Amino acid sequence: MERGTESGTGDSLPEGLGRAIRETAEAVAALLDGATDPATPVPGLEWTVGETAAHLALANGLMAELAAGRESPYGDGTPRSLAAANARGLAAFPERGAKPLAELIVGRAEAFLDVVGRAGPDRTPLTPLGPMSEDVLASYLLTHMLGHGWDLARAVGRPHMIDRTRVRLCLPFLKTAMPRVAVAPSELTARYTLRVRGGETFGVTFAGGGVEVLPGPPERSECTILTEPVTFLLIALGRLGPWQAVARGGVLAWGRKPWLAPRFPTLFNAP
């Protein structure tokens, strides 16, 4: 993938990733401009709009620290430990105002891009989900903002900012994270081909409790799943169930064992 060339957008990152991070942070800030009450509940979360925005501000700051090479322990990567770390972080950070949080979200995304632009692509930060290259960490930051940006958009009744281009830029993180968040039973043996419409095709295989993500379709693939890009990301982040996705026409499946398709999302525990 080509590297970025625009000044101030994370020059060492793959083409378009720095710009997507900046524009997504600004889109989240715009959503907060329309939030009249930070105590508004967020559908599907236990947090309010103010708490969700505060979490994003904290997370963007954490990502910038990780990119700078500073160790910032934040759980062990399991959903329970990350939830506990989130709760501690929010308890220690009382700001819930939309305007100051919007400024922090944008400012800390910019800080991340500045650090990455100065550090170069060879550093391997240690994250709550294990070591990642800076490219993958940047993809993680984008993915995290898009997930909670979608949450905030639902809460304030405005359009979300997820699109095909941004989903493509999330794939490096999602493929890296899959083996780390898998909860597949040891007796499962299955070979999937994942196709994101208009984007990548890759393989995911399960055997003996292990998970492997392949750069292309596996040999003797048993189930091919074709998803619309936004649907793919929402399923991956636990925002949309497989049957909801099928009902929306966002997923098609075929192969020797097409019935394996609805099970696929359940084999991961999204943090």
pLDDT digits (tens, 9 = 90+) for 229-270: 999 999 999 999 888 888 888 899 999 999 999 999 999 988
The whole-model pTM stands at 0.93
Average pLDDT over residues 69-73: 80
Tokens of 51: 């708490």
Least-confidence region, from 57-61, 196-200, 246-250: 246-250
Q: Give the residue from 154, 155, 130, 150 showing the smallest Cα distance to 233.
A: 150
Residue 77 pLDDT grade (very low, low, confident, very high; cuts 50, 70, 90): confident
Rounded to the nearest 5 degrees, what angle is found at the Cα of 146, between the Cα atoms of 211 and 210? 5
β-pairing, 201-207 with 223-227?
unpaired
Q: Percent of the chain, pLDDT > 70?
A: 94
Question: CA-CA-CA-CA torsion for 62, 68, 71, 76, nearest 10 degrees?
Answer: 50
Give all domains of the chain, ordered by start, each with its CATH number. 17-172 (1.20.120.450), 182-267 (3.30.1050.10)
User: Between 119 and 138, whose confidence is greater?
Assistant: 138
Average pLDDT over residues 84-113: 96
Coil vs helix vs strand at 160: coil
pLDDT of residue 235: 95
pLDDT of residue 10: 54
**What is the C-alpha separation between 133 and 120, in angstroms, rounded?**
10
